[in-house]
Every structure is written in structure tokens, then in C-alpha cells.
Amino acid sequence: MANLSYPTKPQRSWLATLGSVWAWLFLLALVIGFSIGNPVFLTPFNLQNILANMSILTIIAIGQTFVIISGGIDLSAGYVMGMVSVVVAQSMGMMPPGTPLWMALLIAAAVGICFALIAGLVNGLLIARLDVPPFIATLGMFGIARGVGFLLSGGMPVPIYTEGLGRVGNGYLFYFHPKAGWSFLDIPAGLVQADLRQVTGVLPFVLIFMVILLIIAHLILSRSRFGLHTYAIGGNKEASLRAGIPVSRRLIALYMLSSTFAAFAGLVYNTRFTNGAANAGEALLLDTVAAVVIGGASLFGGAGTVIGTLIGALIISVLGNGLVIMSVNPFWQFIAVGVVIIVAVLIDQAREKLVRS
């Protein structure tokens, strides 16, 4: 009878392994299912479209990963992203005519990141120094960043007229045409308008930027003392204090880091849509938390990876794209993501019980 109630040791090992790889299996099942349903899903154009569209979500979710691993949450990230996009748009609009694109973007980005760092610093001080719960502190900053963004923009998108900005956010590293061959950074020369339809872009710039940030974040979490401290704080804050870890300083740095990644996402939004909007990240807030949780991070802290977050973001993006391609009402995506989040949490709880049993 005991075997009917409790899994044996080999069974626990198998179930624990399944719990750690279920997201990968689910992503594979989605890809196979949507590919069978509509072959367009597996075309290079659509796959790159998925990866480019998920870049903003993934970048914010990377910052959210650090915070959730530490046992916190950042509800302000979406509106910090929107506020930064407005600040960057207005800063670029103030540049003198003829300012080189790289210089205008660099200066505007520095101003936007400063705004984000202030938001993250306030979050960190409230949480680390005044013991305000992360949910409440970042919910307050949610409202502040939202208000600042709308006040600066007047409630309307702020257009950016700097020439060439759209090519940064929507361009590719390589281009290919069946007749003209390959070209680097720009469409092959000598093509007429009718030939442009046959040009295929390879490796979107925003995807490359996202991968660079992902690699840096992975190295910080897995190879640095800062990453080790992040896991330790999420696992047991009191034990971390007794071990000599500067918990307060680390928490402040974590929330500033989360805001910085939100600022990077705002910059990507500027380059992709050539405007700034205070509500640019509004729809992404819960999706960033969902991506982290689906990717295996525990909301109680102490567990998670940015690679897992990438898988979570891929699942959300593939779901949205696949449902559209299958001509399914896109509002079903909200239901599907909600179900996946619940499943992810249940699997995480079951895995914890197996580890402790």
C-alpha cells in the first residue's frame, strides 16, 4: 500500500527530471502542433518574426528573473519601460539637426537609463532599508512611472523623426536575394522595387542585442559572486545576513538592475516603432512574470535561470503567433498563458515536495 501512496526513489528521480524539462517538451509540442496546423509557421520569415517580437518581452523578463530569484517581484518594470521610451523619444527630438544617429541614440539612451536607475534605486531603498514588501513598493513605483510617462507625453505617443532609427530596430545583419546573393547590413544594391519582395533578412539586430544581454545576465548569475548572493538571498535571507552577505546593498542593486533591463527594452521599442509611448510595456508586465515562472523560477526565491526565462518567453510568443496563424481568436492567448502559469506553479510545488520527501 505504501508504494501506492508514495513514489519510489527511481520514480521520484524521473518525476523530478520531468519537472525540470517539461517547459522544453511543451515548447517542442507547440512547434510541432502549429507546424502541422499551418506550414507557414516554420518558414524562416515567421520564425525570425517570433524571435524579433519576443525581444522586448525577454529583455524585461531577464531583469525580472534576478528579482524573483532573490525572493521579490518588480511590478513597475512595464511602466518604467514606457517612461524610458518617452524620455528617449523626447531627448532625441531635442537633438540639433544633423546629429549623427549613433550619437543621438547614445545620449538619449543615457538620459533614459538615468530615469530607470532612479526608479530602481527608490524600489531598492524602500524594500531593503524600510522593509516595504516588494509587491507594495514596486506597485507604488508602477503608478509613479506610469504618471511620469503620461505627463511627459501628454498621453499620446511621441514620434521620433531621427533618420535611420527604424532601420536599427527592424534591420538584419545579413540579407539574401536569390539573384543578387548575400549582403551585409543592407539590402543588396541594384535591385528594383519588384525584387525587394524576394529579399530575406537573416538575424534581426534586436535579436542579436537580446542574445548579448542574455549571455551577460547568464554569466552574472552563474559565474559571479553577485549571482551567488542573489540565489542565497532568495533561498534564505536570514542565513545570508549571518554569512556576511551585504543583503541590503544587493537588493538595491537587483532592483536597479531590473529597471536597467526595462530601460533597454524601452530603447528597443523606440528603434522598432520610432516613437515612445508611456503604456508601451503595459501589456508585458504579467507576461514577464509568467515567462520567469514558466521557465522554472520559484516565486518563493532561490531558484531560476535566464535560460529558463528565455524558454518561458518563447512559449508565450509561440502561443501568440501560432494562434494568429491558425486563425484562432488571439484573446485565447490570455487563457492559454494563464493555464500554463498554473501548470508551471503546480509542477514547481510538486518538484519541491519530491525533493523534500
- DSSP sequence for 313-330: HHHHHHHHHHHHHTT--T
- Supply the DSSP string of 264-316, one letter for each residue: HHHHHHHHHHSEE-TTTTGGGHHHHHHHHHHTT--TTSS---HHHHHHHHHHH
Model confidence at 250: pLDDT above 80 = yes
Per-residue pLDDT of 169-188, as tens digits, reads: 888 888 777 777 787 777 77
Domain membership of residue 1 (yes or no) is: no
The answer to whether 245 touches 229, Cβ cutoff 8 Å, is yes
Model confidence at 253: pLDDT above 80 = yes
Per-residue pLDDT of 292-313, as tens digits, reads: 988 888 888 888 899 999 999 9
- Give pLDDT, residue 285: 82
- Which CATH number do you get for residue 72? 1.10.3470
Domain membership of residue 8 (yes or no) is: no
Tell me the whole-structure pTM to 2 decimals.
Answer: 0.89
Per-residue pLDDT of 336-349, as tens digits, reads: 878 887 877 777 67
Domain membership of residue 5 (yes or no) is: no
The answer to whether 64 touches 289, Cβ cutoff 8 Å, is yes
Domain membership of residue 162 (yes or no) is: yes
- Full residue range of the structural domain in which residue 244 is found: 20-174+184-349
Split at pLDDT 50, 70, 90, the class of 207 is: very high
> Which 3-state string (H, E, C) describes 122-156?
HHHHHHHCCCCCHHHHHHHHHHHHHHHHHHHHCCC
Split at pLDDT 50, 70, 90, the class of 3 is: very low
- Give pLDDT, residue 225: 93
3-state helix, strand, coil in the chain (%, to 5): 75, 5, 20
For helices 55-69 and 306-325, angle between their N-to-C axes, nearest 10 degrees: 140
Domain membership of residue 2 (yes or no) is: no
The angle subtended at Cα 277 by Cα 273 and Cα 281, nearest 5°, is: 90
Range in 68-77, 78-87, 145-154, 338-347 with the lowest mean pLDDT: 338-347
- Give pLDDT, residue 357: 58
For 172, which DSSP code? E
Range in 17-26, 197-206, 253-262 with the lowest mean pLDDT: 17-26
Split at pLDDT 50, 70, 90, the class of 1 is: very low
Rounded distance, CA 311 to CA 22, Å? Answer: 11
Domain membership of residue 56 (yes or no) is: yes
Query: Mean pLDDT over all residues of the chain?
Result: 86
How many domains is the chain partitioned into structurally? Answer: 1
| Residue 177 bridge partners (DSSP) | 181
Task: Give the residue from 74, 80, 61 showing the smallest Cα distance to 291.
Answer: 61
- Give pLDDT, residue 4: 45
Per-residue pLDDT of 40-74, as tens digits, reads: 888 888 988 899 989 999 999 999 999 999 999 99
**What percentage of residues in the chain have a pLDDT greater than 90?**
48
Split at pLDDT 50, 70, 90, the class of 96 is: confident
The answer to whether 268 touches 209, Cβ cutoff 8 Å, is yes
Domain membership of residue 120 (yes or no) is: yes
Compute and round to an integer the Cα radius of gyration of the chain.
22
- Give pLDDT, residue 194: 64
pLDDT: which is higher, 42 or 201: 42
Q: Rounded to whole angstroms, what are the CA distances from 247 to 116, 124, 239?
A: 22, 11, 10
Rounded distance, CA 38 to CA 34, Å? Answer: 6
Domain membership of residue 275 (yes or no) is: yes
